[in-house]
Structure 1
Amino acid sequence: MANNYETLVLLSPELAEDNRKEILSNLTSIVDREGGTMVETDDWGMRQLAYPVEKQTRGYYVRLVYTAPGALVAELERNIRITDGIYKFMTVKLAA
């Protein structure tokens, strides 16, 4: 059974635009490959952080909304953890 999920990703402000696009395309390809469907990719851009993360005071935010089985979330988060340039992330299950 597929559920709706939202993943907020905080990327390093030092990444070039090409690197950011490559990371995001890798994440969306994982969703497609594992049987999910991307609903929306919301690019929030560079924002001031509430507290420093890895000595940075700014970060690049991207919100991914997708429909997927629960196992896909574990695979997506595993790939996020091993990707350089991603500082933090958070995944929540959206109400149906």
Structure 2
Amino acid sequence: MRKFETLLLLSPELAADAREALLTTLSGVVEREQGSMITADHWGMRDLAYPVRKQMRGYYVRLEYTAPGATVAELERIIRISDGIFKFVTVKLADAVEEVA
């Protein structure tokens, strides 16, 4: 198991319940692929340095999770086909994470 972090830039036009539904879906993907979600930090609405899809604001969310490497590919596939996600980036934080029993 590896530790990953995914930073999402969501549309400012998404309602709070739609945001939560989207994050629940992404958490479900991680857990379905034998991973575990560590934390989901809501950074909130921020101004952007340049327009993204004609928007000057965006809602940031940081997901931290442990999962096998193949899980990231599936998670990013779901992110790409989801509406409301402008941009994302995934970073590997650690190669091997000890699982707590």
Query: For 2:28 and 2:49, how far apart are their aligned partners in 1?
Result: 31
Q: Percent identity of the aligned residues?
A: 66
CA deviation map 1:33-64 (0-9, x unaligned): 11001111100000001110000000000000
Give TM-score scaled by structure 1 length.
0.97
| Equivalent position of 1:22 in the other structure | 21
Structure 2 unmatched ranges of 5 or more? 96-101
Query: For 1:95 and 1:25, how far apart are their aligned partners in 2?
Result: 24
Structure 1: which amino acid aligns with 2:94?
A
Structure 1 unmatched ranges of 5 or more? none
1:95, distance to aligned residue in structure 2 (A):
3.2
| Equivalent position of 1:92 in the other structure | 91
| Equivalent position of 2:59 in the other structure | 60
Which of these two proteins has the greater Rg computed from alpha carbons? 2
The list of structure 1 runs, each at least 4 consecutive aligned residues, that deviate by more than 6 angstroms after superposition, is: none
Partner SS state of residue 94, structure 1: strand
Structure 1: which amino acid aligns with 2:10?
L
1:12, distance to aligned residue in structure 2 (A):
0.2
Partner SS state of residue 15, structure 1: coil
